[in-house]
Structure 1
Amino acid sequence: MKNYRQAGSVLTLTPSIAVASGVGYLFGAALFGIATSDVPANTPGEFKTDGVFDLGKTAGVAVSVGDRVFWDATNKVVNKTSASQECIGVAVESAAGAADVVAVKLGASLPAAT
């Protein structure tokens, strides 16, 4: 194919802030990736855009398998609040409110009902 560019599992992207290795970043309103290494602000770096990752979550929020999770860019964690946040995937394991992380499959979600 003449129009094939790449698999897309890892993309070279430029975040506006520094992103530590293993931390997520939301590009625009719909492209979320996990930094594969430390990426300085305004510098191209590699971001994994698919797969399952243990991501930090908001304290006190219980998450069930199949729950949509939303990115809190301020605190760099996921939660279940859709207001002013973007869905980045779904939980693939349950996590109690006291848990620090939840396993998330990136990009695996349906639009929230309106």
Structure 2
Amino acid sequence: MKNYISAGTTLTITAAADITSGEGVLVGALFGVAVTDIATGEAGEIALTGVYDLPKAPSQAWTQGAKVYWDDTAKQCTTAATGNTLIGAATRAVGGGASETIGTVRLNGTA
């Protein structure tokens, strides 16, 4: 079909600040994970779908399948919806506490 553009699994963005490969990036209502390092003002790719280990609020315990949101101020995932952007769901349970700073998230790829 002549109107097809792409599968939509990645998006080219222009970095507003330096971004490290693997870092979560919120662009409007779209959330992705940086494929490579992207310097301020440069173009680079973010992945909009897939399963990733991402920083999480240490105080929270997650259940498998729980909705996960991005707190763009703290630059971490949370299960708190208020003021945050839905990015996907937890693929495994994880405990709360100071040592529990990473959660595994399946990105939903939607806005």
- TM-score exceeds 0.5: yes
Q: Which has the higher strand share?
A: 2
Report deviation, 1:47: 0.4
Match of residue 74 from structure 2: 75
Match of residue 83 from structure 2: 84
Report the TM-score, using the length of structure 1 for normalisation. 0.87
Report the TM-score, using the length of structure 2 for normalisation. 0.89
Match of residue 7 from structure 1: 7
Report deviation, 1:15: 3.0
Q: Within 1, Cα distance between the matches of 2:58 and 2:24?
A: 18
Partner AA of 1:32 in structure 2: F
Match of residue 106 from structure 1: 107
> 1:20-78 CA distances to partner (integer Å, 9 max, x unpaired)?
110111111x2111001111223211101100001110111101111111111122110
SS at match of 2:49: coil
Q: Within 2, Cα distance between the matches of 1:54 and 1:16?
A: 23
Match of residue 23 from structure 1: 23
- Where in structure 1 do 4 or more consecutive aligned residues deviate above 2 Å? none
> 1:58-106 CA distances to partner (integer Å, 9 max, x unpaired)?
1111011111111111221101111111111100100100312111000
Identity percentage over the alignment? 37
Q: Within 2, Cα distance between the matches of 1:38 and 1:74?
A: 20
**What does 1:45-84 align with in structure 2 at a 5 Å threshold?**
45-84=44-83
Partner AA of 1:85 in structure 2: N
Structure 2 gaps of 5+ residues are none
Q: Within 2, Cα distance between the matches of 1:108 and 1:6?
A: 14
